[in-house]
Structure 1
Amino acid sequence: MTKSEIPVYSRLFPVAPTPFTESSELDLEGLRRVLDCMIDHGIDGICILANYSEQFLLSDQERNALVDLCLSHVAGRRPIAHAKTGTSASARNLPGSMTRHRASLKRSRQTW
């Protein structure tokens, strides 16, 4: 594979940590700071809700809020990738719910 054939998404995509408040709620303002810090440090893309992360502890509404915030805040400054499948018993419905949410985002305003 020549250098010109290497896909755009072949470089550094670190996993963004999901910050929580002291009361275990999503810290959305903290997440905005995390995303800005990652971009300011020159990453090539951002991975959210990666396998083996806190995605299995979040409700569908929390996961959707996190995805929505990441997409709107990053606003195309970097590509965003996230896992669409889960392996834990508590995440049995995760693949379907995330696929449906991603499809609605794609139809409304985002391209994955």
Structure 2
Amino acid sequence: DVIFPSLYTMFDNQSDWIKYAKGNIAEARQYGKPVIPFIWPQIHNWNSSDGRKYMSGSFWKTQLKTVHSLADGVVIWGSMTTKKGKSGWDTWKSGAEWWKVTKEFAKSNGTAKFSGCKA
């Protein structure tokens, strides 16, 4: 058994997201199961003004650090297209800022298992 809380970013605000993540992980911990949150390198498309916008590399690193310090793992959800009027998965960009930050973070913080795309 494992708890998978959704920690998707609704607004481009780091301090609010950290409070949100800490609260959700604390709630998930009460069940005594491993906690492995879902995160996404974009602002959630629920947000009509910033939805699907990729967050800055520093915000993404903050999310990785926060989850790393509080949870038992992480699932990184795929990316939605940012083109207006289109929906679906975004084209893979191995040079994307969020992916560079992810690889650097994983390398400097021990082992990481990558699936679904080439590291």
Q: TM-score, normalised by structure 2?
A: 0.56
Partners of 1:15 and 1:50 within 8 A in 2: no
Aligned-residue Cα RMSD (Å) equals 3.4
8 A contact 1:45–1:81 mirrored in 2:
no
| Alignment partner, residue 25 of structure 1 | 13
| Structure 1 counterpart of 2:69, from 72, 85, 99 | 72
**8 Å contact from structure 1 (residues 14, 43) kept in 2:** no
Per-residue deviation, 1:86: 1.2
2:28 counterpart (38, 41, 45): 38
Q: Which residue of 1 aligns with 2:49?
A: none
Letter paired with 2:29:
I
Match of 1:89, SS state, is coil
* In 2: Cα distance, 1:52 partner to 1:98 partner: 9
Aligned residue identity for 2:67 = C
Structure 2: tracts of 5 or more residues without a match: 46-51, 84-89, 113-119
Distance 1:51 1:104 in 2: 15
The TM-score, its normalising length taken from structure 1, stands at: 0.58
Aligned residues: 96
Unmatched 5+ residue regions in structure 1? Answer: 1-10
Report percent identity of matched pairs: 6
Greater helix share, 1 or 2?
1
